A and B are shown apart, each in its own frame.
Chain A
Amino acid sequence: MTETMEQASNAMGKDPRPIKLACRNVWKLFGANAANFIRERDGKASTADIAAAGLVGAVRAVDLEIRQGEIFIIMGLSGSGKSTLVRCMSRLVEPTHGKVEFEGKDLLKISDAALIELRRHRMGMVFQNFALLPHLNVLDNIAFPLSIQGQDRSTREARAREVIELVGLRGREHFYPRELSGGQQQRVGIARSLATKPEIWFLDEPFSALDPLIRREMQDELMRLQTMLHKTIVFITHDFDEAIRLADRIAIMKDGEVIQIGTPEQLVVNPATDYVAEFTRDVDRAKVISARSLMRACDGAEHGGTVAPEAKIASFSASIVSAGKPFAVINGTGKPIGEVTPQAVIDLLAGIERAGA
């Protein structure tokens, strides 16, 4: 556990972006006297202790930091506590113990009025089953968060039309949610959550209720929006492929605990437990692993080409194999820092583990 934390903090050590949202030893326990139970133990309890006290631990001792502008994915199977964790972050669920810091300020200590203010202007959320209001049409649904802030009709509708344009729903303004397909409904959900220009954007399994083709399309759509908007995104999913496609970093949860935090590549190359390894086993490694992970020191052989250290193997596997010579890995200043051999790439593609990799 400590090892994975170290690994995570090492990875972030280089990250210059400020911390937007952080969880410090966050617990959510269900059952009688849960708050006293965890306070008496000073924020530490084992699985056995919790079970002996007749409590259920939905979120246990979660520590994580989310940087401004990153896509942070919380991945876990159903019942792993990921939905509860994201609700603790937005205080939809009151954590039993710990701190949730939004720009360094403890969310759990602010007043109800301040919380409402925060949610109105700085947080947005998209839900798995869309949670659209059935009695309002698309335009009014999207303008709803603005309307409860007291904005007048023309201002809020102008803003709503902007986001409608952004998510590609023009022409549907006056349709009702039940008249739209699932994908369109979720576009409305996304537009609605963006209408208030939030800084942090919670997406709770937003594409899980959609069928696979639409899901892929919506993932691309999300990436497109993110390149324009640069939100801080907390994204929940149970689909590891989706996580790998979208994530800057992934936190893997099991039984309420975060068992590893890292980039997709770190998870694939260095799984902390067998459980993580199980998830990463079927991943197309060439798309996740970068040249940096596969390189070795140059041994003087002739190079058939050059690649950047961040380049994914899949992006140059075909050319390196056809060239039949190692490629030099070159950093920003143009100096070679190592090389990748065709054999290493072939081994990776074939799924052969090299000793000492």
Chain B
Amino acid sequence: MTVTARASRARPPIQRWLVIWVLALAVVLVVFLLQERLPWAVNYPAEAVVPVADWVSALMGWIKSNLSWLTRSITAVLSVPLDFALNLLAKNFKFGHGADAFVLPRLSWVGVCAAAFLAGYSAGGRKLGMLVGGCFLYIALFGQWTSAMLTLALISIAVPFCILTGLFAGIWAWRKPRAERLVVSPALDLMQTIPTFAYLIPMLLLFGNSPVSAMIATAIFATPPMVRATMLGLSRVPLEIGEFSDMAGCTARQKLWRVLLPSARPTLMVGVNQVIMLALNMVIIASMIGAGGLGYDVLLALRALKVGEAMEAGLAIVALAIALDRLSQAIAHKQAKGNVHGSASPGFWRRYPNLTLAIVILVVTTLLGVFVPAFAAVPKAITFTTAPLWKAAVNWVTINFFDIIEAFRVALILNVLNPLRAFCEGFPWLGAVFLLGLAGYQLSGLRLAALVAGLTAFCAITGLWEKTMATVYLCGISAFIACLIGIPIGLAAARSDRFEKIVTPVIDTLQVLPSFCFIIPVVMLFRVGDVTAMIATVAFAVVPAIRYTNHGIRQVPPALIEAAKVSGCTPRQTFFRVQLALALPEIMLGVNQTILMALAMIIICAMVGTRDLGQEVFIALSKADSGRGIVAGLAIAFIGIVADRLFNAWTAKARARLG
């Protein structure tokens, strides 16, 4: 009697939640079944839609008409360095007009390739030099030079801007914890969850269809990791180092710039690497609002369904991405080496031999370009094109495997995608608000519940419920499949070092590729539609599932595994009861990241004809309808924030339980 009494006293919290969940689901089911009587609870009534989109449009219109002096002066200021970079790398400097204009040539492609090799060589040795130089040479030989240099010019101006802004914002947030909590942190969350497309619309409206607006959009999108890296880096500097600087008599400024920031350099450099990669990703997408460059080539080719050309430009993006990533990572990890005899040699040439050499080569080859055309532009004779090859390959696949692919596609649509979509789109909005709020309450408390329910309700009351659920369905199924593939791969990698050695470079490469690149090969095989979107999204979002699972399993302390073995666990028991159990929070973090990445990708897949919020933004972009685009963008961001907060709350709870 007493035993059962004690047991039931210990169990209630879980049992109570079980009962509550069963009741809640029953209520939602009843609401769904009674949709004849309660139509307003299932489909949000059209007459009650809050016209947030109109308000935003009105606001943007006001800004456009009243603040044009501001936007124009910003454009004027920013176009100076931007034009310089564009002229230097891609176009030519022209002074004067017409036939008698004096033309100063752009940097010679030979020189840039050599400089790329030298940069790689000085940062990471001969191997890296070959890789980076090879990537640039590839771009040149495959006829993508001018486009790639346009893209690079935009990045080279946007990145320093992001780094400086991010650094100062990060320092400010680090100094003022209140500002961090109330302003910086929420702003960063929003900046990173709003889909890239949604940035473009206000930029298009305010700054027009130009490289400047593309650059501003890029800067906004790529700054958050630098802010975070700065805050993290500064807070990780050992306390004693800060105390040392005080004891040495540093002023506040000396302490920050000469002690704390240099000590935080490794973390800051990780931020720089992320800024570069995000900027590349965004510059590609911003080709829709006039960035030009490689992204624009892909876009044009995709619109015309020229798969060969799209693939070529896509591969050039890949080459550029790999070169920039490996180079910036090598610089981040490079540590100065001490030497016994070392003394700072006096001359610039002696101190920076590679840099001097690169400058000399650039100047010489560029000057040569004035006389020898082969140095100025890549000669047609030595370029290749693989477009016909890709086209032939696709044709061959479609001719020979059309039936199989088509059968697979149709089966997937009919049996999986369509029923799921119908279920999601028919889900009562009130029920979703209620259930998500309940989950938030169980995981964290009233504040999370209110946040989650509020954000969900926003999607409904702005009249976007059906499109929101279409996004949730496509994102959900893609993330689910990505986890289904990624977690087992991660588990396998964690158990075998050899397998991990194979997997790591693959996921490293997948991670640096701009999202655009994933669409191209899939479109070739599956044409446009939900299936293409799903497959591209799975490929894009699988990385964090693999990475976090592997890391989670591997970080289980060896002492615990030994303890399990000593207490007589079989390998199977050790794996399931100890390693997996302890790695679960980390794995769930990976799932969370997978969902967020899937969401970002699904939106981009609007280009291949999905019918969700992404399409809403895409249409708004083509119509320059800022209200519609921003509201849809916010709805997407809110989906991401709801998923992220719920998962984080769950993980925090699980972590607290594991101690």
A residues neighboring B (CB under 8 Å) = 87, 90, 92, 116-121, 123-125, 127-131, 133-138, 144-145, 148-149, 171-176, 178-179, 193, 196, 202
Q: How far is the CA of A120 from the CA of B245 in the complex (A)?
A: 10
Whether the pair B244, A148 counts as a contact (CB closer than 8 A) is: no
- In Å, the complex CA distance between A129 and B242 comes to 12
Closest residue of chain B to A173 (Cβ to Cβ) is B342
CA distance A220 to B48 in the complex (A): 84
Tell me what chain A mostly uses at the interface: helix, strand, loop, or mixed.
loop
In the assembly, what is the distance between CA of A334 and CA of B343, in Å? 60
Q: How far is the CA of A127 from the CA of B246 in the complex (A)?
A: 13
Beta-carbon contacts under 8 Å, B124-156 to A: none
Q: B: which residues have CB within 8 A of A? A: 238, 240-241, 243-244, 246-251, 254, 258-259, 262-263, 265, 335-343
Contacts of B335 in A (CB 8 A): 176, 178
Rounded to whole angstroms, the CA-CA distance of A202 and B338 in the bound complex is 29
Residue in A128, A129, A133, A179 whose CB lies within 8 Å of B262: A133
CA distance A195 to B162 in the complex (A): 39
Q: Collect the chain A residues with CB atoms within 8 Å of residue B343's CB.
A: 174
**18 extra interface residue pairs, beta carbon distance < 8 Å, beyond A138-B338, A176-B337:** A92-B243, A92-B247, A118-B249, A119-B246, A120-B249, A124-B247, A127-B243, A131-B240, A131-B243, A133-B263, A134-B262, A135-B263, A144-B258, A145-B248, A148-B248, A148-B251, A174-B339, A179-B337
Q: Residues of B contacting A173 with CB < 8 Å?
A: 342
A87–B242 CA distance with the chains assembled, in angstroms: 13
- Assuming the contacts A125-B247, A135-B262, asked whether A175 and B338 have C-beta atoms less than 8 A apart, the reply is yes
**Distance, CA A179 to CA B248, complexed state (A):** 23
Interface hub of A117, A118, A145, A196 (most chain B Cβ within 10 A)? A145
Q: Which residues of A contact B258 (CB under 8 A)?
A: 144, 148
* CB <8 Å contact, B251 and A116: yes
Give the distance in Å from the alpha carbon of A42 to the alpha carbon of B602 in the complex: 67
CA–CA, A90 and B244, complex, Å: 11
B240→A127 contact, CB < 8 A: yes
How far apart sit A233 and B340, CA to CA, in the bound complex (Å)?
A: 33
Minimum distance in angstroms from B228 CB to a CB of chain A: 21
Q: Which residues of A contact B341 (CB under 8 A)?
A: 174
Taking CB as reference atom, which chain B residue is nearest A127? Answer: B240
Report the Cα distance A120→B255, complex, angstroms: 13
Q: A135-B262, A174-B343 are in contact. Are A125 and B338 (CB under 8 A)?
A: no
Q: Within the assembled complex, what's the spacing in Å between the Cα atoms of A70 and B254? A: 33
Are B262 and A148 within 8 A (Cβ)?
no
Question: B residues within 8 A CB of A120?
Answer: 248-249
**In the complex the two chains form, what is the Cα distance from A179 to B338 in whole Å?**
8
Among B249, B340, B343, find the residue whose CB has the most chain A CB atoms closer than 10 A: B249
Q: Closest 4 interchain pairs by CB?
A: A120-B249, A175-B338, A174-B342, A131-B240
Q: Check A119–B248 contact: CB distance below 8 A.
A: yes
A145 to chain B, nearest CB (A): 4
Q: Would A129 and B249 count as touching, CB distance under 8 A?
A: no
In the assembled complex, the CB of A186 is this many whole angstroms from the nearest CB of chain B, namely 12
Output the nearest chain B residue to A174 by Cβ-Cβ distance.
B342
Q: Contact check: which of A87, A131, A145, A179 meets B249 at CB < 8 Å?
A: A145
